[in-house]
Amino acid sequence: MQLHLCEHGDLRFGALLLFCSALVPSLASAQYAERPSLVGSGAPDVDASGRSIKDRRVRAVHSADPSLQGGTAWLFERDPYLAFQLGRDINFREFTERHGVFDTKVSNLLGPMPDGTTRKITANNQVSCLGCHNLPAGNPGGGTNFSKDSGLGRNAPHYYGGGVMEMLAVQVRADLLALADADGNGWISSSEAQSAPAQARVQTSTNANGGPVDYGSFRLTNGATGKPQLNNIIRVWYLDAQGRVVNGATQVDGITTHGYNFEVVLWGWGQGVGRSALNPTNRAFLWDPFKTHSGLESCDASTTQDPDGDGVSVPTLAGCIQFPATHKPGDRGLNMDPLGFSRDDPDADGVCNEISEGDLDLGEWYMLNAPRPAFAGPPRMWNEGLNVMGEMGCLSCHIPNWTIKARDARQAGDRRFFDLDVTFDAQGNRLVGRVVPLHDRVGDRYVRRFGAFEVQGVFSDLAHHNMGEGFKETDFSGNTNMVWRTPPLWGVGNGYPWGHDGMSQTLEDVILRHGGEAATSRAAFAGANRKRRDTVLTMLERMVLYDIETLPTDVNGDGQIAQNFMVAGMNTLQERFNAEWLFRNPLRIQGPVVNSAGQTIVSFAGTNIDEAYGRNLPLRLDSDGDCWPNVWDAAPFQPGIKDGVVN
């Protein structure tokens, strides 16, 4: 079998591989991972609800060539809902020892605090993203509280609408650059900083309830030298005269460093002045916790692909730039063989490429397209709450509306391929959904439009603020912090417990903890009568998350929600959002069966998993079931879980 590496890392396949693919039969169900078996089969890995992962673990192959079947670019263009579901599975899968989960130090302390000595977070303590982001269960939820910087803990955020949030953060960066980067080379020189506007202000939306946000100043503390005076949400690094990263630099000095670049940090509550938050992109939000909490090392050339050395990568397949100047996935990717296979094993557990570049492509795709939170109430309730919040001054930081700008020379546009529009059905007293395509069909390709999108109900300025004594935290090493990111309020009704530390047991309590820059708004709320306070609280309580896969949804765009929705010849009952039914080859459910108690039920287990999940596609085929696709496996018919050869 001959494999050849192209200039951009794409795999080209000979006729022999395609011939072999056609001859390999489906694997026995006993070799499937998770719960793929049918009700009544006698197998132990059964789930009649269909919610469990059906597809066995196979490392995904990154390919920028959409003609290579089963590669990530092909999936994005030809079977994007399958890519979405595979990304979901990466997010929710419970990884096992055979996948390389953990290293030799389970539940060990990792990472220094600012004092350089004290350890902070507990590492190697979760086998799945779902271990923390699990409310509602089986969704991109949040709610779990765990100790990170202090004994008070951290409230894990949900990531409904995670793609929207990422697009807004990257857009803010582009808008800020446009204000100060006069020569358009993608970074800010000392002279540009001196001539930049006094305030780094960005307009969130041209519509109602959008507003300008002040992100500080581009100007350096000492005029031609020093540090920019930007909001703490912005993480800065410094460049030489050619615009290349100077590692370890802490300011513009006019000798070694002559300018700076920056990112708007997307994820994390905040870690103190000068330390920003955590992860700048969704992709980093995947590989960083995989490494920290699960000991799953990533090999990701997409994050580090920075040909001009300015600390900003070229866009990933999902379309988002990464920031290797401040955030890159460890050692993986430095020692590669000709097939793009990592020879590194930084955690010394013997398992190579625990998380592949293709895995991150798919996980990022899922997060990009993760549905937004919803408002479970009538418009009157929304408008009344919004008006009172505005009168109290809450909307100066919790800015409701943003506009994702259409694609142009500076902006990436809305990179999603669909939107799930969720509204409140007052007659049925329930949330209902509608799949809105953000793509055009060209033959069998899904071509994303990259248009504009109006986002309502975010309620954040994506900035850090001093929140006063009520949110003061003393970390493990004794340093204090009162500067926190304005959390997006969408989904806050499910946010129990509330606050960065999860120490507030009610919404009212977390509001009354506000101080510092929010002291005036807090006083307005505290001084309001019960009716006005309840107007705000009732609105916030209705800003909710929901179970995506059981949401009654108009999937096919016919304007109604069918009570008997037919997929692949089977009645799936009420029409709802299930990505498996939107695959290129839709999943066919098992249907009516008699359970062990003699009752007739509808089983949503799948009967055509190989076909639906594209298991026989050339870049997804894993003949020996060892989690290594044949194209990476030197012994494709002999299981070898560590590197495709060695068990």
SS3 call for 616 = coil
Q: What percent of the chain has pLDDT over 90?
A: 83
Q: Is the pLDDT of residue 578 over 60?
A: yes
Q: How far is CA 236 from CA 167, 173, 183, 538, 582, in A?
A: 19, 12, 19, 40, 42
Query: CB of 253 within 8 A of CB of 240?
Result: no
Angle at Cα 418 formed by Cα 417 and Cα 420, nearest 5°?
160
Q: Is the pLDDT of residue 15 over 50?
A: no
pLDDT one-digit tens code per residue, 508-553 = 999 999 999 999 999 999 999 999 999 999 999 999 999 999 999 9
Query: CB of 359 within 8 A of CB of 86?
Result: no
Output the pLDDT for position 337: 66
Residue identified by tokens 């500076």 is 410
Q: Two tokens at 149?
A: 């910087």
Q: Two tokens at 619?
A: 């870049």
Residue ranges per structural domain of the chain: 163-264, 374-548
Q: How confident is the model at residue 146 (pLDDT cuts 50, 70, 90)?
A: confident
pLDDT one-digit tens code per residue, 272-289 = 999 999 999 999 999 999
User: Which residues pair with residue 481 across a beta bridge?
Assistant: 473
pLDDT one-digit tens code per residue, 68-77 = 999 999 999 9
Average pLDDT over the chain reads 92
> In angstroms, rounded to a whole number, what is the distance separating the alpha carbons of residues 279 and 20?
42
Ranking 107-116, 204-213, 426-435, 541-550 by mean pLDDT, the lowest is: 204-213
Ranking 14-28, 42-56, 128-142 by mean pLDDT, the lowest is: 14-28
Q: How confident is the model at residue 105 (pLDDT cuts 50, 70, 90)?
A: confident
Question: How do strand 553-554 and strand 445-448 relate by DSSP bridges?
Answer: unpaired
Please report, to the nearest 10 degrees, the dihedral formed by the alpha carbons of residues 485, 491, 496, 502 taken in order.
-10
> In angstroms, rounded to a whole number, what is the distance separating the alpha carbons of residues 224 and 217?
14
The arithmetic mean of pLDDT across residues 307-311, rounded, is: 97
CATH architecture of the domain with range 374-548: Orthogonal Bundle (1.10)
Higher-confidence position of 557 and 1: 557
Q: Is the pLDDT of residue 311 over 60?
A: yes
Output the pLDDT for position 18: 32
Q: How confident is the model at residue 3 (pLDDT cuts 50, 70, 90)?
A: very low
Q: Is the pLDDT of residue 402 over 70?
A: yes
Residue 590, classified by CB atoms within 10 Å of its CB into exposed (0-12), middle (13-18) or buried (19+), is buried
Residue identified by tokens 């304005």 is 486
Q: What is the DSSP letter of 250?
A: -
Please report, to the nearest 10 degrees, the dihedral formed by the alpha carbons of residues 223, 225, 226, 228 taken in order.
60
Whether cis (ω within 30° of 0) applies to the bond prior to 497 is yes
Q: Two tokens at 236?
A: 């800065």
Higher-confidence position of 16 and 279: 279
Q: Two tokens at 479?
A: 């340093």
Q: How confident is the model at residue 26 (pLDDT cuts 50, 70, 90)?
A: very low
Q: How confident is the model at residue 379 (pLDDT cuts 50, 70, 90)?
A: very high
User: Residue 223 phi/psi, 5° resolution?
Assistant: 85, -95
> In angstroms, rounded to a whole number, what is the distance separating the alpha carbons of residues 35 and 172?
42
> In angstroms, rounded to a whole number, what is the distance separating the alpha carbons of residues 16 and 12?
12
Output the pLDDT for position 183: 97
Q: Is the pLDDT of residue 592 over 50?
A: yes
Residue identified by tokens 């069998």 is 444
Output the pLDDT for position 338: 62
